[in-house]
Amino acid sequence: MSARLGIGFVGSGFIARFHIRAFQAVREADVLGVWSPNPRNAEATAAYARELDVGDARAHASIADLVADPRIDAIWLAGPNHARIENVEAIVHAIREGRGTLKGIACEKPLARNVAEARRVVELVSSVGLQTGYLENQLFAPQVETGRALLWARGASATGRPYLARASEEHGGPHMPWFWSGELQGGGVLNDMMCHSALLVRHLLTRPGEPLSTVRPVRVTGHVASLKWTRPEYRRLLQQQMGVDYGRAPSEDFASCTIEFETADGFVAIGEASTSWSFVGAGLRLSAELLGPEYSMAWNSLDSGLRLFFSRAVQAQAGEDLVEKQNAEVGLMPVVADEAWAYGYEAENRHFARAFLGKEAPHLTFADGLEVVEMLMTAYRSAEEGRTLPYEAPAVAGFVPAVARGAWRPRGLELQGDGGAR
C-alpha cells in the first residue's frame, strides 16, 4: 500500500470543515488532528472528521502537541488571519525544540493580512525547511481546469494566446464576526476574496505547464466601495448579528481590480477581477471568463444543472443545504450538489497531499501566496490614491490599508452624515 499523509488542522471553523469534507475524495491522506483555541470546537471538528471517516482525528491541547503527534506529517493552516503569525510561530518553535517533524505546511488564503506579515510567514517556514502549499481552491475547480486546458489546446494553439480573463466571487457576507473587522481580517472584501480572483485571472492567462512568472503583472488599478453595509438599516443589522459597528470602522463590501500583464512571449494581457459582500442572489456565485482571438469560455458556479422549487406553503428554517451563503428557502433555487468538488477543494487537497508525499511538484507555494498579497496591497494603495500604479513589490512592503487601520471613510457614509466618529 502506498504511503499516506497524516494531516493536522490548525483551526476548526467553516473553512476547516469544508476541507475535511473534501478529504472524503482524497485517497492519499488522513485527517488525524485538530487544534483550536476553543477546545470544544476542536473536539467537535475532530468528531466531524471521524464521522465522515476521513481519519481517526483527535483534538489536541496545543499546536505543539499537534506537531508532536507522530501520526501527523503536515499541517493545514485554517485559522483566522489575525492569528496567522502566532500560529506559524508556534509550529516553527515546536519543530526547533525537537517536538516533532513535518513534511509540509499548507495555508488557506490569504497568506497574511499584509506584505510584512506574509514575508514573516515565508521567513519562519523557510527557517525550518518545510515544503509549502498555498491553498487556492478556485484554480483547481474542475470547470476552470477543463475549460482552460481545452481553450489553450484548441483555441490558443490555432489562433494565438488569450488576452483577457475575468473572475468574480460574490455573496451576501462572511460567516464570522472577525471577517467584518478590517483590523482583524486585514481589510474588507478585497483582502478576503480578491486573493481568489486576482490569482485566477493570472492562472487562466498562463499557458498550462508554464510558471505564473511567464505572465508578469506590471500595472494595477483598484477600486473599493461600501455599497450596502454602511447604509443605516444594514449597519444596525450588522451590529446586531455580528457585533461590528460599520459607522465607526467600516470595511469595503465591493472591490474591483484591473491588472495589466506582460507575457514572456511579448504580449499584453488584461485581468479583470471583482468581489462583493453585497451580492443578493441564490448564494455564493463564482464566475470566470477567458477570451482570445477566436474563442472564449465562461463558468458560473450557480449554473449547477440542478434546480429545486419550493412554493410559499413550504416553511423551512434558514440554512445552507442548497448552496453556500444561501439567501432563500423558497422559490426556484439552484443546488450545488457537491460544493467541495465544484469549488476545487477536492482536487486542491489531493494535489497538496501528493506534493507533500513527493509524488508531484506543488503548483502553488508560499512564494505565490506572498505575491498575491503584494498584488492585493497594490490594489488597495491604488484605490486610496485614485490612480493606476505600477506593480512594484517594494512599494507596498510596509503598506497597511486604511481599512485595516480603521481610517477608511467610504463616500456613502460621509454623505449620510451620521456615520459615527471620524
Location of C-alpha cell 499516506: 4
Q: Is the separation of the CB atoms in 38 and 6 below 8 Å?
A: no
Q: What are the structural domains, with CATH classification, of the chain?
A: 5-137+358-364 (3.40.50.720), 138-338+371-415 (3.30.360.10)
DSSP codes of every residue in 313-334: T-------SSSTT---SSEEEE
Strand intervals (E) in 238-312: 254-263, 268-276, 285-292, 295-300, 307-310
pLDDT of residue 416: 73
pLDDT digits (tens, 9 = 90+) for 33-83: 999 999 999 999 999 999 999 999 999 999 999 999 999 999 999 999 999
All residue ranges of the chain with pLDDT < 50 are: 1, 419-422
Position of cell 490614491?
A: 385
Q: What is the mean pLDDT of the chain?
A: 95
Q: Residues with Cβ < 8 Å from 25, sequence gap 6 or more? A: 340, 341, 346, 350
- The pLDDT of residue 327 is 87
Q: Is the Cβ–Cβ distance between 290 and 151 less than 8 Å?
A: yes
Phi, psi at residue 120, to the nearest 5°?
-65, -40
Residue 419: per-residue pLDDT:
47
Beta bridge partners of 185: none
| Type of residue at 84 | R
pLDDT at 2: 61
Cα–Cα separations (whole angstroms), residue 187 to 82, 176, 243, 250, 384: 11, 14, 17, 9, 13
Q: What is the pLDDT of residue 421?
A: 40
Q: Are strands 254-263 and 268-276 parallel, antiparallel or unpaired?
A: antiparallel
Between CA 420 and CA 414 the distance in angstroms is 10
- Give which of 325, 337, 190, 319 is closest to 253, Cα–Cα: 190
Q: What's the rounded Cα separation, in Å, for the pair 306 and 30?
A: 31
Radius of gyration of the chain (CA): 21
